[in-house]
A = this chain, B = another copy of it.
């Protein structure tokens, strides 16, 4: 590995001059600059970022903490962030908690030790300990997905969008609506979307049947199972005429079950999802859903973070992104 010292010797200048050439700082004569650049070109020398960071306290690295990489939401968000960051010469250091909440704190510390210039956390479950950790972290920080008091964040209108979707279902004439959600420890997807459902039902004076409200996981098979339980439970009695699932994948699982046992969607039972997964428009019938702009969320988060970085101060700005109802054929 070449060092600045060797380059300096080869170009017959001091290390300071090499540094000046490479960083376009201070005065350097044209002759010296040329010699240095030639040597750099010839040798393919690249300065050590560590030595640099040690002095300058800037790493040009952003730490990102995700619950899981291989989900559409995550990868779209990272895509959006990366777009903004890479244009500014920042790279992303990726960590994933694989849904183990303790890891969030662990990774925040790790990223701090790596002296990242800022941290973006895609939050799912937030607890008091995590909030404390974030508060005492003196580093630019943005949370995505969950609103944390006093902390800069990008969130979606989970409550409103959910309410809107349920309203749309109701206005199509459905009255007996089942709900498949996720654990409420996920405030945004679990709690807010459920509240939106309940609120909409209440506003339309519809009753919510306990046996038609299920909590499950994020994947397609979970949706399938939850739907199965609802339908089998209802067998002798009444059957819902619509199902509101809080994610597209859950909805698709539900549809899968309904199709298997022979229901016509949406004639006998309607289904709706949320999240506008790619896949949602290619299932049969095409799924009615809500689009959140994940990529934009990533971009906004990146911009908020960069803002903190250049101003060198944390803030608690909040960006709340809109949503779009996409009516397709499943309701």
Contact A49 B113 (CB under 8 A): yes
For residue A78, CB closer than 8 A to chain B, the reply is yes
Q: Report how far A75 CA is from B136 CA in the complex, Å.
A: 32
How far, in Å, is A191 (CB) from chain B's closest CB? 27
Note all chain B residues with C-beta closer than 8 A to A59.
50
Q: Which residue of B lies closest to A97 (CB)?
A: B86
For residue A47, CB closer than 8 A to chain B, the reply is yes
Given known A50-B53, A86-B96, A112-B46, contact A252–B68 (CB-CB < 8 A): no
Copies in the complex: 2
Contact A91 B110 (CB under 8 A): yes
For residue A48, CB closer than 8 A to chain B, the reply is yes
Contact segment of A118-126, A181-189, A231-239, A277-285: A277-285
For residue A247, CB closer than 8 A to chain B, the reply is no
Given known A46-B113, A283-B282, contact A91–B91 (CB-CB < 8 A): no
Contact B96 A94 (CB under 8 A): no
Given known A68-B79, A69-B79, A70-B75, contact A47–B93 (CB-CB < 8 A): no
Contact digits for A24-59, partner B, Cβ 8 Å, 1 yes 0 no: 000000000000000000001011111101100001
Contact B49 A115 (CB under 8 A): yes
For residue A76, CB closer than 8 A to chain B, the reply is yes
For residue A144, CB closer than 8 A to chain B, the reply is no
Q: Report how many residues on chain A are interfacial, defined by Cβ distance under 8 Å.
A: 45
For residue A272, CB closer than 8 A to chain B, the reply is no
Q: Which residue of B lies closest to A278 (CB)?
A: B279
Contact digits for A278-302, partner B, Cβ 8 Å, 1 yes 0 no: 1100111000000000010000000
Most chain B Cβ neighbours within 10 Å, of A47, A70, A75, A295: A70
Q: Report how far A283 CA is from B61 CA in the complex, Å.
A: 40
Note all chain B residues with C-beta closer than 8 A to A283.
282-284
15 of the cross-chain contacts (CB-CB < 8 Å) are A49-B113, A50-B53, A54-B54, A69-B78, A70-B76, A70-B295, A79-B96, A82-B96, A86-B96, A91-B114, A93-B94, A220-B278, A252-B282, A279-B279, A284-B284
